[in-house]
Structure 1
Amino acid sequence: MPPARRPVRLLVLALLLCGLPAGCAAPGAGAADAAVRRAVADWAAAPPARLAGIPLAGWSYEVSSVRRDGVRAFARAVLHYRLAGYDTAAADARREVELAGDGAGGWRVAADRPAPGAPPQLWDQGAVTAVRGAHALVLGVGQAPQTLSGIAAEADRAVPAVSAAWPRPWAGRLVVLVPGTLDAMAALLGQPADAYRGMGAVTTGRVGAGPAPADRVVINPEGYAGLSEAGRGIVLTHEVTHVATRAATSATTPLWLSEGFADWAAYRATDRTPAEAAPELARAVRRGELPGALPADGDFAFGGDPEALARSYEGAWLACRLIAAKWGDAALVRLYEEAGRAPLSVALDEGLGTDRGELTRLWREALREQLG
């Protein structure tokens, strides 16, 4: 074979082995991809102006792939960021960075947006206003500063109330996100709006031990605005309790215990009676519809019958209230911890010296006495 023709034959063979033309990179693609990655890294070193109000302690992109289309390039990446004073580890977000080429091998970032199928971040929805409280950082879009200040003040009251109910180490601080609308809230959470209609707030984050930097309380601005001052305090204290107990919560923790404990923490400093705080369950009991079992995990799913959902939350609260009244507040806290490490049957036996059947009997008896 003449030496001059060998590279041509090898190139043809390489193309045949590639199969589809899109599956192989053109000559110089590695250098071009490296230039795109450098451009993303350089751009990340100076976060966009729209983030100026957010106290960032870290901001970097981990590029996983690069796709070039003429003078444009698209980098898929994971954004790692921390909020100074609040996140103990980096929060993550899947992003797509679009870049424009200058024709001479250089690239500049033209857009940064959620990767296809990934939920947006709050700053994707508009300019972010930040308000700091003693224990909370409130970040809002499309909200009046006085609204955000009011939420920060409510969160500041909720944190010591939660620490009194949960006397275990936790950060004692939180981040609250306040989007502009219910639809914007649902978009942040990657769910349909109907899943959160009528709710005041929800909490996001990982379950289990270790840092949960993405633990955020997300406000439903429409539902929250319709609450009384006392109602707003109860909602935020409930959600802050989920933040505080996150490390002790696992897949073995039944929802009636995690949701009931959060309501117990929220109501324990109020003078609300069972009939006042559990109106849907009270009506059911008076109709002779005494529940036969503690609420199952599926009973807490949103988007179904709102009255049935309310009865599940109310029943869970009254179960935790019963445990605290009969065995003591400390016993309820220990039960929560044990239920995160072992099956409920084991947790009940070791924490309370009882079983599910006896607890259910006592709970139904309490419902009959307090709501009947």
Structure 2
Amino acid sequence: MLRRALVTALLALTISATLTAPTQAAAASPLDAVKTLLTARAKAEVASDRAAFADTIDPQAPAAFRDAQLKSFDGLTSLPVQSLSYDVRVDLIGDLTRAVSRSEYGGATVYLPQTIRALQFTLDADAPGLDDMWWTYVQRDGKWYVGGNDDVTDLGLEPTESMWDLAPVVTLQTPHVMLIVHPENRDRGQALAASAENALRTIAQRWTLPWPGRLVGFVPSSPDELATIIQATIDVKKFVAFISYAFDPESLRATVPRLYVQDTNLSRYGTAQQTETLVHEFVHAAGAAYTGPYTPAWAQEGLADWIATGLPKPEAPTPQLNDTPPRNDQFGAGSQTDIVRAYRDSKSLVAELAVLKGKAAPFDFFKAMGADIVRPGNSDYVVDKSLAVLGLTTGELIGALRRG
């Protein structure tokens, strides 16, 4: 599971201090003018008004940028969008304009705040997904335009690229799932959508907490395309699927989760294994509303695997398990064997919790960890406090698993 937007926000908080030194006589902020520009852009996209959208692009922008913007417009307007808006703000990470070379824009006035796209598809739950766009705005003859999107890549702030930015897409929709695929993958997408519906029926029998029960998913054509879309910092070729969501900057709660399929791997499995994998991912989606910044990977992955495999009894721990649960990095780094062991030990810890305290205990533990978004301590502290509610310590849980 990925938290791309949260990582981006934390990085941005780090770099802003070096880019936004106060000045004695700061120029008037163009924030309101840029917000007006983006309101017009969003209105054009929702209305599929290509000419109005084109009017928001810098008329002096390179042809490649202009063409890419129009390609993105064509792709997005082919999809069933419920709502679309943009927010521009400098209160979270500051003004990044000093990172922009004005010479790249012919010496024109430029502006680079944080731009957040809020995009909700018709099948999404009652909230949008959030994406950082990192657009540079340029003023020409008193009018503001979108002029660039790669001026802060050297700072690690990559522009968001969606499937429809890269190639044409189509949608495949069932009662509870909407998959976005490239046209040449339509048949495979239909098979995946059927497996997803089967997975959701399984979730309904095993997941006990409220959640919307529907999801939008993406099926890129290759691992490289997937890595680009989710801005992966791990080797996606080792995995089969991901759930991705951001944390809302105001509430710090998870935004709407989205499914991303690494189908080069998933398609090698039989139908039953594919469905089990999707159950695992849908547990992450269902658990997003109950997840907090301190919820560790072992609790999330362990719960997902435990539910996906039918609420089994615990297995004996692997040689990799020491006096603490698997670390977050062990789920993305290391050999394939190491990653598999981290998942297995996590599932067994959750299963052991169910043996000791009842089948509801893993859900109570999970809810307790995410109940308070802002709290003192770190992830280990939150785990200890949440287990204490059930009358356990981390050491006692691991000890019970070792004793069998």
| TM class by smaller structure | 0.7 to 0.9
Partner SS for 2:284: helix
> Which of the residues 124, 127, 130 maps onto 1:92?
130
Aligned to 1:346: 385
Partner SS for 1:180: coil
Aligned to 1:365: 403
Count, aligned residues: 325
> Which of the residues 191, 195, 198 maps onto 2:238?
198
Aligned to 1:5: none
Deviates more, 1:103-112 or 1:289-298: 103-112
Counterpart check, 1:267 vs 2:309: yes
Q: How far apart, in 2, do the equivalents of 1:37 and 1:254 lie?
A: 37
Change (3 A) 1:143 1:202: farther
Uncovered stretches (5+) of structure 1, i.e. residues with no partner = 1-17, 367-372
Aligned to 2:13: none
Aligned to 2:337: 307
Partner SS for 2:127: coil
Uncovered stretches (5+) of structure 2, i.e. residues with no partner = 1-22, 46-72, 90-94, 372-380
Q: Deviations over 1:153-184 (max 9, x none)?
A: 12212223223322111111111111111011
Aligned to 1:228: 270
Equivalent residue letter for 2:292? S
Q: How far apart, in 2, do the equivalents of 1:83 and 1:330 lie?
A: 33
Q: How far apart, in 1, do the equivalents of 2:369 and 2:136 lie?
A: 46
Greater C-alpha Rg: 1
Q: How far apart, in 1, do the equivalents of 2:150 and 2:83 lie?
A: 18
Contact 1:210 1:247 in 2 (8 A): no
Contact 1:300 1:309 in 2 (8 A): yes
Q: Deviations over 1:35-88 (max 9, x none)?
A: x87665444323233224311112234467997946999875433321123142
Over the matched positions of the two proteins, sequence identity in percent amounts to 23
Change (3 A) 1:336 1:213: closer
RMSD between superposed Cα atoms in Å: 3.8
Equivalent residue letter for 2:85? S
Equivalent residue letter for 1:196? V
TM-fit CA distance, 1:266:
0.3
Change (3 A) 1:59 1:306: same
Task: Give the TM-score normalised by the residue count of structure 1.
Answer: 0.73
Aligned to 2:5: none
Contact 1:238 1:263 in 2 (8 A): yes
Partner SS for 1:88: coil
Contact 2:123 2:216 in 1 (8 A): no
TM-fit CA distance, 1:105:
8.0
Aligned to 2:42: 44
TM-fit CA distance, 1:263:
0.4
Aligned to 2:377: none
Q: Deviations over 1:268-297 (max 9, x none)?
A: 17xx8977xx9xx7xx5xxxx473335332
**Higher strand proportion, which one?**
1
Aligned to 2:85: 60
Deviates more, 1:144-153 or 1:113-122: 113-122
Counterpart check, 1:244 vs 2:286: yes
Change (3 A) 1:358 1:71: closer
Q: Deviations over 1:191-219 (max 9, x none)?
A: 25x52112110111136977644411111
Deviates more, 1:52-61 or 1:207-216: 207-216
Q: How far apart, in 2, do the equivalents of 1:310 and 1:110 lie?
A: 45
Change (3 A) 1:337 1:106: closer
